[in-house]
């Protein structure tokens, strides 16, 4: 299976019923090690000898990644993520977490992680470690920034945290909601990975983030007793958000948000139950314990987009390093440039990395059938994060009339996960962006990018992304790029 086929298969999402799928995967994982070993957590890998591949080092781990991708060292220390940095500040006394009813550590945790309460999105489908607490009357609140997601449920004994580690991909933590002991962030593994893996720990997959729609539409009717499916930028808006609450101005858009499950599981005509333009959620449940009474449509859209692109980055990280290790053990840790790869490896990289290029450029993204507007203030907060070029433009600037962003290149190009791809993989992405944005690549796949789009994105990137600007200058010197997109 080549890289392109694997990516397509992984992005189809979860097609089997989620609870059964996760239970089966967890059972499979548990059979590999005793319950006692799992309770103590996976063991850290020993450091390899110089020039020796981690694949040659035996390890005692319940994680299949440590067999399939030993050079990643997933069960080793997770140090390149927001939670690890918070742990360091807590240990030094520079930061403290405060427990305050009714939400326990939530408010303090969000502040420490620099996550805005306006990012609140609410989901009532049962996709969590604590499914018994989730219902339409008690939805799960998820707050997030570019790399970290914090999930809280009313009366929860644990806050769940999922964060992007630039070396490992998604790593998972819980924080006990107890005021009688010091706060401790506990890393999780198999309990979360039984679902957060593209092949559910069956081997060959990679850890991933999830954004699921719990319903589907058949012949204009909502089927609520169905499989949960991963949605992406390409999913039509009418097919999104089953099991989610969505607030804001949606222009009467027929979609699956705010649709409660049917008591008898019979299909429901979508037109009779779709509820757009919901200002707040007070009519659905008691919102008082929550930070806000919104589940902002713009926050939901950004959440959905960044999960999709994060997953493409994770796939690129794992698989490009696997290709390098296959050619030369230990080489994935070396700063190899694109021109240092062998021709066969370059061809494999092209197949592997092209989906990331296209995903970051919103190729195939569904058009908005109507303008969408949030109502929590999230859009203003998000746009304020920058970075900005000298003209005040940013890849975070929203469109929201016909598409999500004004300048269609993902803001996650600034993320640590992208920055820490192996150098040859990142260089390939930059080279492709230069070809596309300067108009050298005019293939139909990128026809949705107007010349104005290409020019603006190129100018913003050149002004705000120094390593891209360096690659662009090298291309200009070599005569491979025009000074401006045409």
Q: How far apart are CA 463 and CA 391, in angstroms?
A: 10
Please tell me the distance from the alpha carbon of residue 88 to that of residue 111, in angstroms, as a whole number: 16
Could you give the CA distance from residue 471 to residue 58 in angstroms, rounded to a whole number? 40
- What is residue 465's predicted lDDT score, i.e. its pLDDT? 98
Residues comprising the chain, all counted: 486
Q: Per-residue pLDDT averaged across 126-142, rounded?
A: 89
Tokens of 414: 């600034």
State whether residue 275 is helix, strand or coil.
coil
Does 261 map to a domain? no
Query: Could you tell me if 332 and 325 are in contact, meaning their C-beta atoms sit under 8 angstroms apart?
Result: yes
| Domain presence at residue 154 | no
36-47 burial string, b = 16+ CB within 10 Å, else e?
Answer: eebeeebeebee
Dump pLDDT digits (tens) for 90-102.
Answer: 999 999 999 999 9
Q: Is residue 405 part of a domain?
A: yes
pLDDT, one tens digit per residue, over 259-305 is 998 777 788 888 888 888 999 999 999 999 999 999 999 999 999 99
CA distances from 82 to 49, 151, 315, 319, 417 (A): 29, 15, 20, 24, 12
Q: pTM of this prediction?
A: 0.87
Q: How far apart are CA 100 and CA 102, in angstroms?
A: 6
Asked if residue 300 is part of any domain, the answer here is no
41 belongs to a structural domain: no
Is residue 360 one of the residues assigned to a domain?
A: yes
Can you give the residue range of the structural domain that contains 405?
309-477
With 60 as the cut, is the pLDDT of residue 29 above it? Answer: no
Find the mean pLDDT for residues 433-448. Answer: 94
The number of folded domains in the chain is 1
Number of alpha carbons in the 13 Å side-chain half-sphere of residue 255: 27
User: Could you tell me if residue 435 is inside a domain?
Assistant: yes
Count of CB atoms within 10 A of residue 469's CB? 14
Q: Is residue 290 part of a domain?
A: no
């Amino acid at each position: 299976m080549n890289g392109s086929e694997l990516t397509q298969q992984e992005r189809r999402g979860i097609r089997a019923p989620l609870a059964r799928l996760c239970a089966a995967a967890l059972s499979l994982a548990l059979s590999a090690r005793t319950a006692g070993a799992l309770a103590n957590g996976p063991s850290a890998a020993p450091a390899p000898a110089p020039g020796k591949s981690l694949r040659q080092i035996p390890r005692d781990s319940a994680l299949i990644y440590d067999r399939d991708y030993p050079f990643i060292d997933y069960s080793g220390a997770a140090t390149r993520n927001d939670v690890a940095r918070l742990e360091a500040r807590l240990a030094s006394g520079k930061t403290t977490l405060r427990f305050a009813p009714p939400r326990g550590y939530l408010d303090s945790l969000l502040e420490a992680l620099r996550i805005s309460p306006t990012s609140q999105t609410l989901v009532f489908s049962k996709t969590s470690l604590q499914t018994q607490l989730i219902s339409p009357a008690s939805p799960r609140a998820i707050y997030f920034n570019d790399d970290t997601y914090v999930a809280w449920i009313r009366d929860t004994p644990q806050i769940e945290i999922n964060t992007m580690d630039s070396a490992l991909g998604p790593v998972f933590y819980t924080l006990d909601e107890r005021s009688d002991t010091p706060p401790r962030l506990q890393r999780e593994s198999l309990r979360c990975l039984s679902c957060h893996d593209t092949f559910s720990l069956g081997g060959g997959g990679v850890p991933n983030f999830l954004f699921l729609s719990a319903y589907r539409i058949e012949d204009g009717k909502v089927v609520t007793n169905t499989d949960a499916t991963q949605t992406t930028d390409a999913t039509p808006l009418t097919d999104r958000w089953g099991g989610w609450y969505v607030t804001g101005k949606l222009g009467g858009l027929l979609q699956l948000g705010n649709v409660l499950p049917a008591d008898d599981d019979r299909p429901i005509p979508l037109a009779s139950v779709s509820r757009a333009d919901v200002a707040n959620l007070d009519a659905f449940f008691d919102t008082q314990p929550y930070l806000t009474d919104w589940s902002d449509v713009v926050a939901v859209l950004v959440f959905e987009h960044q999960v999709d692109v994060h997953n493409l980055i994770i796939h690129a990280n794992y698989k490009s390093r696997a290709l390098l290790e296959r050619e030369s053990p230990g080489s994935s840790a070396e700063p190899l440039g694109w021109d240092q790869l062998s021709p066969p490896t370059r061809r494999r990289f092209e197949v592997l990395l092209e989906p990331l290029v296209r995903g970051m450029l919103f190729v195939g993204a569904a058009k908005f059938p109507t303008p969408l507007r949030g109502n929590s203030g999230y859009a203003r907060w998000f746009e304020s994060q920058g970075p900005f070029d000298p003209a005040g433009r940013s890849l975070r600037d929203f469109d929201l009339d016909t598409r999500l962003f004004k300048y269609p290149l993902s803001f996650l190009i600034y993320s640590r996960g992208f920055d820490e791809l192996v150098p040859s993989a990142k260089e390939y992405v930059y080279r492709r962006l230069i070809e596309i944005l300067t108009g050298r690549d005019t293939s139909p796949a990128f026809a949705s990018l107007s010349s104005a789009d290409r020019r603006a994105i190129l100018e913003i990137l050149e002004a705000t992304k120094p390593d891209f600007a360096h690659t662009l200058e090298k291309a200009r010197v070599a005569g491979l790029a025009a000074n401006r997109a045409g």
